[in-house]
A = this chain, B = another copy of it.
Amino acid sequence: MAVRSNLRSFTQKLESVADLDPEERAAIERLPATIRTLEPGQDIVRQGDRPTQCCLIVEGFAFRYKMLRGGKRQILSFHIPGDIPDLQNLYLDVMDHSLGALVPTQAAFIPHGAIRDLAGRFPRVFGALWRETLVDAATYREWIVGLGRRSAYARTAHLLCELLVRVKAVGLTSDYSFALPLTQAELADALGLSIVHVNRIIQLLRSRNLVTMRGGKVTVGDWEGLRTAAEFDPAYLHFKAGLAV
């Protein structure tokens, strides 16, 4: 039953983007899972690996990234409890990027076979899982727009909007405040900026009373202002109607 309650965050996440009936929900929560705790900075899967299990984040914070020659790093996405950041490996055998933990993170590892069985028996679950990966793709699209056409300022604001909305959807916010265990170096690698510039942008956001970031905690002081600065429209997250902020 440890397992059962651990997969609860997953069904909750799935239901933020798709419908499930009680039988489906129960079947999902009965999936065989091995819980592992990962240390900060530890890789969960690496570029080139051929995983045979999927990794569901139960607690903590993970991120996808890719390294370039010369030591540059680009962060591709952040993952919060309820996410399965390597679900794509059900159909893509080799990892084209790496997945790491940012803080001590609990992950539930579920064998591919078990998920395939489940998906075979419940077509709607199949659809819900596919949908998960499609929302991932939609998020990538939005990041491309940000990196290509938004200023560093708007881009940073946009990332904070996205994180607030996603964290809120799994119930991990208190008011307009949430835990974000990111250093400015990690923010820089996600935003395609230098550390120095990220630092200056954060100060700018604070000086305008839009956001403060201190001690791994983000507090949005002016949601409308932040949204406007970012031109943030949560449609790309494809939440079910009514969940929008």
Q: Could you list which residues of chain A lie within 8 angstroms of chain B, going by C-beta atoms?
A: 64, 66, 68-69, 72-74, 76, 88, 90-92, 94, 96-97, 120, 123, 126-127, 130-131, 133-138, 140-145, 147-150, 189-192, 231, 235-236, 238
Given contacts A137-B140, A140-B141, could you give 14 more A-B pairs where the C-beta distance is less than 8 Å?
A68-B149, A73-B149, A74-B148, A76-B145, A91-B130, A92-B135, A94-B238, A96-B236, A133-B133, A133-B134, A133-B137, A136-B137, A140-B140, A149-B192
A238 touches B96 (CB 8 A): yes
Which B residues are CB-close (under 8 A) to A141?
64, 66, 76, 96-97, 140
Q: Which of B69, B147, B236 contacts A144 (CB 8 A)?
A: B147
Secondary structure of the A side of the interface? helix
* A to B CB contacts below 8 Å, 18 in the list: A68-B145, A68-B149, A68-B231, A74-B144, A74-B145, A76-B144, A76-B145, A88-B137, A90-B130, A92-B131, A92-B134, A120-B123, A133-B134, A137-B140, A140-B141, A143-B144, A147-B147, A148-B191
A95 to chain B, nearest CB (A): 9
Q: Which of B72, B131, B138, B192 contacts A96 (CB 8 A)?
A: B138
Can you list the 7 inter-chain pairs with the closest CB atoms, starting with the nearest? Answer: A148-B192, A140-B140, A147-B147, A137-B137, A96-B236, A91-B131, A74-B145
Which residue from chain B places its CB closest to the CB of A150 in the assembled complex?
A: B68
Which B residues are CB-close (under 8 A) to A136?
137
B140 touches A192 (CB 8 A): no
